[in-house]
Amino acid sequence: MKKPGADHLALLAMLAVLCVLPFAVTGYVLYVVNLLMVFVVLALGMHVVIGEAGQFALSHTAFYGIGIYTAGLLNTAFHPPFVLSVLAGGLLAAVLGWVIGFLALRMRDIYLALATFAFGEAMQWVFLNWEGVTGGSNGMRMQPAELFGWKLTNDLQAYPFVVAIAALMLWLTVLISRSQFGSALRAVRESDVAALAMGIDARAMKQWAFAISAAFAGIAGGTYTLFISFIHPESLGFQTTILVLTMVVVGGIGSVRGAVAGAITFGIISELLRQALSVQEIIYGAILMGFMMFKPRGLFADRRRRIARATPETQA
């Protein structure tokens, strides 16, 4: 029988901490943990498109904003169970992600990054100027999310649902990574030509990667509406994309555990730097540049390779 590995033990420890946390901490700490769970879902979505499919996309924050505004507007207008508003945000983001994926099929590397960056900037312009829907530069006040008439009015009430959504998205990411679909995505990442030779439709895989990644971002946005009451477009700018990209790169491109660890680590760092907004981008940029230059595979991807080399007999 296979013994539990370090990853399983770490996961069990994290689950135990998350279960005990509501009974031991204050509301602010629960807010931070809720925010970290949102970052985990965001990082997992970027992991799918960059780590699994190898598509360097910088439009993640745009889909995140779409999820936030979709869920927030539905909560305000119709008061549906929040499950429906979160799913609606994820679905709309996925549809737009599929379209962006189709438009980006002829691009790669820096051209793909620039095109998706342009889409992200265009969406922030929409968030800032569509005042009748988003509130524009005044921001938008959110109504509390509901579940069959019960309103989520504080971080403690939202906490179990936020953690459950993050756990579900983590499970889906692992499922994708270990499936034939995940293997096909990685084949496309390594070489379009080799993937085509194996009978894999590279174009379809790339589109699916964009759509799934966008759906994760949209669901993260919908989850965010469970515990916040106000959103401003300035929080949906390129800085958030850089933050999520840093999480994935530092954790290890192609590593699920790296995306989770990076999200938690840099989510905490971003909260600590909340009062130093003027230097946040400099710090994130310096960290990102340092890892790209000196440790491009990140922390956890390198760990996985060391384990594989150290225990070759277990791989047989």
At 8-37, the pLDDT tens digits run 677 778 888 888 888 888 788 999 999 999
> Does 181 map to a domain?
yes
> Does 82 map to a domain?
yes
Nearest alpha-carbon partner for 212 in 303, 110, 91, 311: 91
Residue 272 confidence (pLDDT): 83
> Does 19 map to a domain?
no
Provide the total of helices (H) and of strands (E) in the chain, helices listed first.
14, 4
Question: What CA–CA distance (Å, rounded) separates 287 from 290?
Answer: 5
pLDDT beyond 60 at 244: yes
pLDDT, the chain, mean: 85
Share of the chain above pLDDT 70, in %: 91
Write the pLDDT tens digit of every residue in 109-166.
788 888 899 999 999 999 999 988 888 889 999 888 988 878 898 899 999 999 999 9
pLDDT beyond 50 at 304: no
Write the pLDDT tens digit of every residue in 199-230.
888 889 999 999 999 999 999 999 999 999 89
Q: What is the mean pLDDT of residues 288-306?
A: 68
Residue 14 confidence (pLDDT): 80
pLDDT beyond 50 at 314: no
Question: What CA–CA distance (Å, rounded) separates 190 from 184?
Answer: 10
The distance in angstroms from the start CA to the end CA of the chain is 15
Predicted TM-score (pTM) of this structure: 0.89
What is the b/e burial string over 132-141, where b = at least 16 CB atoms within 10 angstroms of the residue's CB?
eebbeeebbe
pLDDT category at 307 given cuts 50, 70, 90 is very low
> Does 254 map to a domain?
no
Share of the chain above pLDDT 90, in %: 43
- Domain count within the chain: 1
pLDDT beyond 90 at 252: no
Among 231-245, 246-260, 281-295, whose mean pLDDT is lowest?
Answer: 281-295
Among 51-60, 167-176, 180-189, 275-284, whose mean pLDDT is lowest?
Answer: 275-284
> Does 277 map to a domain?
no
Residue 301 confidence (pLDDT): 61
The string of DSSP letters for 124-136 reads HHHHHH-HHHH-G
> Which one is predicted more confidently, 252 or 62?
62
Question: What CA–CA distance (Å, rounded) separates 133 from 125?
Answer: 13
Question: What CA–CA distance (Å, rounded) separates 41 from 260?
Answer: 8
CB 59 within 8 A of CB 120: yes
User: Residue holding tokens 């990076």?
Assistant: 262
> Does 148 map to a domain?
yes
- Element housing 146 (H / E): strand 146-147
Helix (H, G, I), strand (E, B), or coil: what is residue 46?
A: helix
CB 265 within 8 A of CB 15: no
pLDDT category at 255 given cuts 50, 70, 90 is confident
> What is the total residue count of the chain?
316
Q: What is the mean pLDDT of residues 52-74?
A: 93
> Does 86 map to a domain?
yes
What is the domain extent for residue 115?
27-236
> Does 137 map to a domain?
yes
